[in-house]
């Protein structure tokens, strides 16, 4: 059986209509979900907010180092027994380092106590020096 011109034309119209519909359906279809394969997509550069956000170190309720540092500094600055001292506080992975100049060993004990009572503190490294003058 030999195809006729009408048969070829009909097939062409059907094919064209099908292509148009496929294009329209493709445009209306939701975008495909991104691939979950790590190797298939490059890592996005971190944004500024993510770079400065506190990092959880294990437990979901872990307190960040910056929160620990702020709480220890606030306690030391608000304590009348620490008058005349110059204490710097730094926290790294729950280890609080106290450095600076104090007037007495009592102030060293007060500063250490402020650090030790904070949640999330693993250890206190007291490097405070007493100024005898």
For residue 94, the SS3 value is coil
Sign, CA dihedral 66-120-87-74, equals: positive
Average pLDDT of the chain, as a whole number: 74
Confidence (pLDDT) at 35: 42
Per residue in 10-36, pLDDT tens? 555 455 555 444 444 455 555 554 444
Residue 57: pLDDT over 60: no
> For the chain, which domains are there?
63-130 (3.30.1340.30)
For residue 68, the SS3 value is helix
- Could you tell me what percent of the chain has a pLDDT over 90? 50
Please state the pTM of the whole predicted model. Answer: 0.54
C-beta atoms surrounding 96 within 10 Å? 26
List, in order, residues 6 or more apart from 57 with CB less than 8 Å away.
Answer: 93, 94
Length of the chain: 133
In the chain, helix, strand, coil percent, each to 5?
A: 45, 15, 35
Question: pLDDT-based confidence at 132, cuts 50/70/90?
Answer: confident
Do the bridges between strand 95-102 and strand 86-92 make them parallel or antiparallel, or are there none, so unpaired?
antiparallel
């Amino acid at each position: 059986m030999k195809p006729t011109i009408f048969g070829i034309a009909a097939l062409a119209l059907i094919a064209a209509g099908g292509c148009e519909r496929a294009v329209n359906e493709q445009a209306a279809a939701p975008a495909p979900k991104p691939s979950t394969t790590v190797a298939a997509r490059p890592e996005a550069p971190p944004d500024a907010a993510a770079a400065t956000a506190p990092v959880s170190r294990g437990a979901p309720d872990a307190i960040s180092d910056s929160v620990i540092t702020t709480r220890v500094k606030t306690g030391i600055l608000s304590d009348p027994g620490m008058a005349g001292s110059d204490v710097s506080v730094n926290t790294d992975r729950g280890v609080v380092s106290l450095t600076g100049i104090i007037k007495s060993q009592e102030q060293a004990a007060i500063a250490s106590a402020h650090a030790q009572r904070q949640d999330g503190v693993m250890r206190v490294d007291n490097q405070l020096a007493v100024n005898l003058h």
